[in-house]
Amino acid sequence: MNAHSKRLLFFFGTLLLVLSGCARTRADEAGEPSVTQGLSFRDSILVGDTELNPGDPYLKVSQDGEVFVSWSQNNPQAEGHNTRDLFVSAVKAGGQELGEPRRANDRPISSHGGENLAKFTIGLDGSLTAIMPLVGSELHTGDLMTSYAEKGEPFSSTNVARLNDDNAVANHGFTDIATSPDGRIFASWVDGRNELDQSELFMAVSEDGGKTFSKNYQIGEEACNCCRPNIVFLDGGRTIALSHRFVDPDNVRNHVMVRSVDGGNTFSDPIPISDDGWVSHGCPHAGISIAADQQEVIHAVWWTGGRTKQEAGIYYARSEDGGQSFAPRQLIAEARDDIVMHTHITVDQSDTLYAAWVNLEDNQPKIFLAYRPTGETEWSPIQQVNDDPDWYAFYPMLSTDEENLYLTWMERKGEGMRIKLRTTLLAGM
């Protein structure tokens, strides 16, 4: 069994946290979902070379509405199983076709994806900048690499650079990368170079659209070692809000937000998103997902094991003051408290929210989705989206253009992996 498949088995087979059992939950805001019917998804398509175990899909949409998907897959010429390549492709025909894939790396990237997957962002000029973890001497101890491509052009080895500016054999990973409305590109990641009890959040900024990045600087402390950060921009990029999972001395792992009101130069102390009180002595590999709508309201969705089995679930919260405070959380779905679930949220141009997550049904991980139209307080009925009961489904990812919702995820059966992509018209269309 290769390293990538072992990682997935670890997450969803042997990654049983301290407590066990099924959870029955109660939301902080009570109420049963009552919004309209489910979405009608088109047939799914496969992403990547199915002979090379593609995994770790990621979606992004450009300023002009062009959608791209990235993924990693095995390198057939390389020896060993810890070697992957990263590809990016345009999504065409409403999600029914993919353009020519572009390889983004010029050296092996880590096979330990999941929360530590490679990502990319799209510049205001349509260029692509990818960020990816390289193969390290130990788990998650490699360097981070960035790779740049002009609009429509291939990635070039002359535009590849190491992002972390230290020489430490340390954790550099669990990244986010995003393009500000003013064109600057911000990269953030979890970093262990200072050998503290907990990792720190570091950031670097590109002023030239992703070709080069600034000196690294620390923006947050006591970050969970293996949970991804997320970046959103407000006020035209003058305000930057970044979420991450915080770890206190008692191993309580709540989600928090740090904010910059000076374009990323300095960041605030952590602001609680929700006091879930979940204690874990192991690294959960389950970060929060956030998105900002047209009114600059920040929306967040996440999984927590809760203080008790009865609190475990998929939750939602919102901030109407730019991340300075959050309303009480709202339950979207009940979940097990002993098995980690992954979530993602996006918002369309009419401010309808879409949330996707992994949950267990008949002890099998599947992909579920719900949406919430603008102005509503309840979510739609939950619908299952993965379409093959013979495969286990993981790691959902969402994006939208002007007409369509895009949802991708990875699947596993035995030692095989693959990626599915499904689309539907946006709610209300």
The CA–CA distances, whole Å, from 273 to 156, 162, 257, 268 equal 40, 32, 7, 14
Residue corresponding to tokens 């593609």: 54
List pLDDT tens digits, range 329-356.
999 999 999 999 999 999 999 999 999 9
Percent of the chain scoring above 90 in pLDDT:
80
Average pLDDT over residues 290-303: 98
Q: Which two tokens stand for residue 94?
A: 């409403």
Tell me, rounded to whole angstroms, the distance of Cα 37 from its chain centroid: 27
Reply yes or no on whether the pLDDT at 38 is more than 80. yes
Reply yes or no on whether the pLDDT at 425 is more than 50. yes
List pLDDT tens digits, range 347-400.
999 999 999 999 999 999 999 999 999 999 999 999 999 999 999 999 999 999
Name the band, by pLDDT with cuts 50, 70 and 90, for residue 188: very high
The CA–CA distances, whole Å, from 351 to 67, 68, 83, 292, 346 equal 18, 21, 40, 9, 9
Extents of the domains making up the chain: 3-425
Name the band, by pLDDT with cuts 50, 70 and 90, for residue 15: very low
CATH topology classification for 3-425: Neuraminidase (2.120.10)
Q: What is the pLDDT of residue 197?
A: 84
List pLDDT tens digits, range 240-261.
999 999 999 999 999 999 999 9
**What is d(CA 217, CA 202) in angstroms, rounded to the nearest whole number?**
5
The one-letter amino acid at 17: L
The one-letter amino acid at 132: M
**What is d(CA 147, CA 200) in angstroms, rounded to the nearest whole number?**
24
Percent of the chain scoring above 70 in pLDDT:
90
Q: What is the pLDDT of residue 81?
A: 59
The CA–CA distances, whole Å, from 139 to 142, 162, 170 equal 8, 18, 9
**What is d(CA 259, CA 240) in angstroms, rounded to the nearest whole number?**
6
Q: Which two tokens stand for residue 331?
A: 């339950």
User: What is the average pLDDT value for the chain, to the nearest integer?
Assistant: 90
Name the band, by pLDDT with cuts 50, 70 and 90, for residue 271: very high
Q: Is 24 exposed, middle or buried (0-12, 13-18, 19+ CB in 10 A)?
A: exposed
Reply yes or no on whether the pLDDT at 7 is more than 80. no
Q: What is the pLDDT of residue 76?
A: 86
Q: What is the pLDDT of residue 1?
A: 42
DSSP 301-326: EEEE--SSGGG-EEEEEEESSTTS--
Strand segments, DSSP code E, in 157-295 are: 160-162, 172-179, 185-191, 199-206, 217-223, 230-234, 239-247, 253-260, 271-274, 289-292
The CA–CA distances, whole Å, from 268 to 253, 256, 277 equal 19, 11, 22
**What is d(CA 377, CA 349) in angstroms, rounded to the nearest whole number?**
18
Q: What is the pLDDT of residue 136?
A: 78
Name the band, by pLDDT with cuts 50, 70 and 90, for residue 130: very high
**What is d(CA 228, CA 168) in angstroms, rounded to the nearest whole number?**
21
Q: What is the pLDDT of residue 283?
A: 86
**What is d(CA 88, CA 120) in angstroms, rounded to the nearest whole number?**
9
Beta-bridge mates of residue 276: none
Q: Which of 397, 425, 343 is nearest to 120 (CA)?
A: 397
Q: What is the pLDDT of residue 398?
A: 98
List pLDDT tens digits, range 196-250.
888 999 999 999 999 999 999 999 999 998 999 999 999 999 999 999 999 999 9
Q: Which of 76, 97, 100 is nearest to 88 (CA)?
A: 100
